[in-house]
Every structure is written in C-alpha cells, then in structure tokens.
Amino acid sequence: KQEVTQIPAALSVPEGENLVLNCSFTDSAIYNLQWFRQDPGKGLTSLLLIQSSQREQTSGRLNASLDKSSGRSTLYIAASQPGDSATYLCAVVRDGGSQGNLIFGKGTKLSVKP
C-alpha cells in the first residue's frame, strides 16, 4: 500500500531564507508526483508536476526533485517570502492500470516571518 510522508509537519523560517520541504513514498512504482500549495480554508493550487521519467522541475523560485529509486522528493523554495506561508502537500499517482488517483501526504505547514 502506497504511503506518503512529509517531514517536517511544520516549519517556521525568517524571510529571505532558502528552504527544503521533504516528501517520501513507500512504493517507487509511481507515474508522477505533484506538489500543491493550500492556503487556509481554500482549495489546492498545483505548483509542480514531475513525471516518473524526470528528475526535476522548476518554476520561478521553486524547484522540485524526484528520486524514484529512493522514494523521495524535495521542494526547494528560494528566497522565501511571507506570501509563501501556506501548507505544502505532495501527492503521487500510482503507476499503471486504473489507479489514477492522487495519494497525499499530510503536508508541511510553512510560516515565513517578515
């Protein structure tokens, strides 16, 4: 059974700091991995999607990496800003068949202090 874990559960950093959020999954047979952001009481905003054949994706100050063999992904946020404060979720899609649903981690709640 696929399980997704995110560590730490919460993180507080001063503005301007570079930071890394971690995501691990137990079954390396994934189709892709997607990072989301969720603001309080809101839906999910897709940040980056990494196909299983890719090693990383970049968008602006965000960089996500994927190591399928070790079951790990990281989300790197450069020069953090207070507006980055949110919960960050990673989710994987299982490979093959009709298993197209996302399996989520519990998220990392990020607080960036001015």
Partner 1 sequence: KAGVTQTPRYLIKTRGQQVTLSCSPISGHRSVSWYQQTPGQGLQFLFEYFSETQRNKGNFPGRFSGRQFSNSRSEMNVSTLELGDSALYLCASSLQSSGTRFSYEQYFGPGTRLTVT
Contact call for residue 113 and partner 1 (CB under 8 A): no
Contact call for residue 93 and partner 1 (CB under 8 A): yes
Integer-rounded Cα radius of gyration of the chain = 14
In 3D space, the residue among 16, 10, 33 whose CA is nearest the CA of residue 113 turns out to be: 16
Contact call for residue 59 and partner 1 (CB under 8 A): no
44, 74, 76, 85: which one contacts partner 1 (CB under 8 A)?
44
Q: Which amino acid is residue 87, in one-letter code?
A: T
Contact call for residue 31 and partner 1 (CB under 8 A): yes
Element (H, E) at 56: strand 56-59
Contact call for residue 42 and partner 1 (CB under 8 A): yes
Which residues have C-beta within 8 Å of that of residue 60, sequence separation ≥ 6?
none
Give CA–CA dist 75/92, Å, rounded: 14
Contact call for residue 73 and partner 1 (CB under 8 A): no
Looking at the Cβ atoms of 53 and 114, the one nearer to partner 1 is 53
The footprint of partner 1 (CB under 8 A) covers 31-32, 34, 36, 41-46, 49, 51, 89, 91, 93, 97-107
